[in-house]
Amino acid sequence: MLINHNHRRARGARIGRIAACLASIVLCMACGESSQNSAVSPPLDPAPALTIGAQEQRPARVVLPRDYNIEHRYPLVILLHGYGGTGNEQDVIFHLAQHTTRDQFILVLPDGTLNSHNLRFWDATPECCNFEVRRSTTSATSPHS
C-alpha cells in the first residue's frame, strides 16, 4: 500500500510540474506578437550574453532556444524564485530551461537581492519584502522601543 501511495504522490508531483509549465507557456503566448503593427524595435545582439546584471549584483541567467534566430520574435518567460532561493533552483523545480527550444521561448532566471544572511528576496514595494530595512525602520519609529 505504501508503494502505491508513493507512486501516486510522485505522479501527482509530475502532473503539477507539467501543469505549471504549461500555464507559464500559455501566459507567455498570450503576451506574444499582436496582429497590429507595432513600432520597430532596435536590432538585437546576435550573440547575447547568457548572464546579465552580474555587475549590479543582480544576475539573471538567460536561456535561448538552441535554434535562436535574431530575426524571429519569441515569447519571454521570467521565472521568479521565492524568498531565499535562486533562479536556477526555481528551474530545478519547473524544468523550463529544457523546453526553450521545443516550445520556442526565451527564459530569464533572475536572482533577487541578497540580504545580510545571504538569502535572496524581491524588494517589490516599501511594505515587502526587505524585512531587515522594514524591521529597523519600524523599531526606530515605534513608541514601544
Provide DSSP, the chain. -HHHHHHHHHHHHHHHHHHHHHHHHHHHHHTS--SS--PPPPPPPSS--SEESGGGT--EEEE--TT--TTS---EEE----TT--HHHHHHHH--GGGHHHHT-EEEEE--EE-TTS-EE---BTTBS-HHHHHHHHHHH-TT-
More confident residue, 144 or 64: 64
Per-chain mean pLDDT for the chain: 73
Which pLDDT does position 34 carry in this prediction? 45
pLDDT band per the 50, 70, 90 thresholds, residue 115: confident
Instruction: Give the pLDDT band (50/70/90) at residue 123.
Output: confident
Q: What is the pTM of this model?
A: 0.58
Residue 95 has pLDDT above 70, yes or no: yes
Tell me the pLDDT tens digit for each residue of 7-40.
555 555 555 555 455 455 544 444 444 444 445 6
Answer yes or no: is pLDDT of 118 > 80: yes
